[in-house]
Amino acid sequence: MKPNSPFFIKLLIIQCLSVLSVSQDFDFFYFVQQWPGSYCDTEQSCCYPTTGKPASVFGIHGLWPNYNDGSYPSNCDPDSPFDQSQISDLISSLQKSWPTLACPSGNGSKFWSHEWDKHGTCSESVLDQHGYFEATLDLKKKANLLHALQSAGIQPDGESYSLNSIKAAIKDAIGFTPYIECNVGQSGNSQLYQIYLCVDTSGSNIIECPVLPRGRCGSSIEFPSF
Ligand code: 5GP
Ligand code: 5GP
């Protein structure tokens, strides 16, 4: 086939189109929750939202589309900016379950907007803006992490717990093994910062993780109070 034949050019266009559409796809989500006590117990500290101190429970960080090879798409659609009017019915639930702890204090819209623009726009083929935030709030109801840990005697009391006991408590209560992310507290201690569960591409079913993020915790992990 001559490289400039019409057939060759058509083939090239079809290939380009399929690469473009496949690259917008994703394989699964990470559903990430954060422990407020660990976010706050770092050198930068934290600021409570304008709506008040969040409850002493895990808060949502985000729902992140990911690929099976560990890489992930981000900021996929600049033409679909965060629009709070599309989720006005969800605001009070978001304030409760997806509070912002970044400084300066905010009402949460900046955090939700960042998460939508960076991650949500990469799963728009499955979930529109309302669907994305609704699915994330529903996942939090399915995965009560504090309850899971407390059922195994793991409390936010400033004590340290083994990584394996934390993973086992969540596997027992929720049925799937989480990925645990630690941060480093003010006194150099490894502490329980974020818990990742994996979710299928519909955004509604928790699954075993196809791949885990990199990083590690110490074998003994502090669970700070909040
Ligand atoms: P860090 O570098 O602090 O771990 O992550 C910074 C940001 O990068 C996160 O808040 C999140 O938006 C994004 N990110 C980090 N790791 C992953 C990952 O494995 N998958 C996805 N989808 N996003 C990630
Ligand atoms: P990642 O999810 O998408 O890129 O990173 C989180 C971004 O959201 C950071 O820019 C961070 O300043 C902002 N942010 C606002 N509130 C919070 C919060 O409560 N926790 C975390 N981890 N990030 C927050």
The per-residue pLDDT for range 176-186, each reduced to its tens digit, is: 999 999 999 88
Around ligand 2, the residues with Cβ closer than 6 Å are 34, 39, 61-62, 100-102, 111, 114-115, 118
What band does 6 get if pLDDT is binned at 50, 70 and 90?
A: low
For 33-58, the pLDDT digits (tens) are: 999 999 999 877 899 999 999 999 99
53 occurs within a structural domain: yes
Q: Does residue 166 surpass a pLDDT of 80?
A: yes
Give the ligand 2 atom nearest the CA of 59. Answer: 19
Pocket mutation for ligand 2, best pick of 32, 114, 226 (most atoms within 8 Å of C-beta): 114
73 occurs within a structural domain: yes
17 occurs within a structural domain: no
1 occurs within a structural domain: no
Q: What is the pLDDT of residue 5?
A: 59
3-state SS of the chain is: CCCCCHHHHHHHHHHHHHHHHHHCCCCEEEEEEECHHHHHCCCCCCCCCCCCCCCCCCEEEEEEEECCCCCCCCCCCCCCCCCHHHHHHHHHHHHHHCCCCCCCCCCCHHHHHHHHHHCHHHCCCCCCHHHHHHHHHHHHHHCCHHHHHHHCCCCCCCCEEEHHHHHHHHHHHHCCCCEEEEEECCCCCEEEEEEEEEECCCCCCEECCCCCCCCCCCCEEECCCC
6 occurs within a structural domain: no
191 occurs within a structural domain: yes
The domain spanning residue 71 has which CATH number? 3.90.730.10
Distance in Å, CA 74 to ligand 1 centroid? 10
Q: What is the pTM of this model?
A: 0.90
Structural domain count, the chain: 1
Tell whether ligand 1 has an atom less than 6 A from the beta carbon of residue 34: no
Q: What range defines the domain where residue 141 resides? A: 25-222
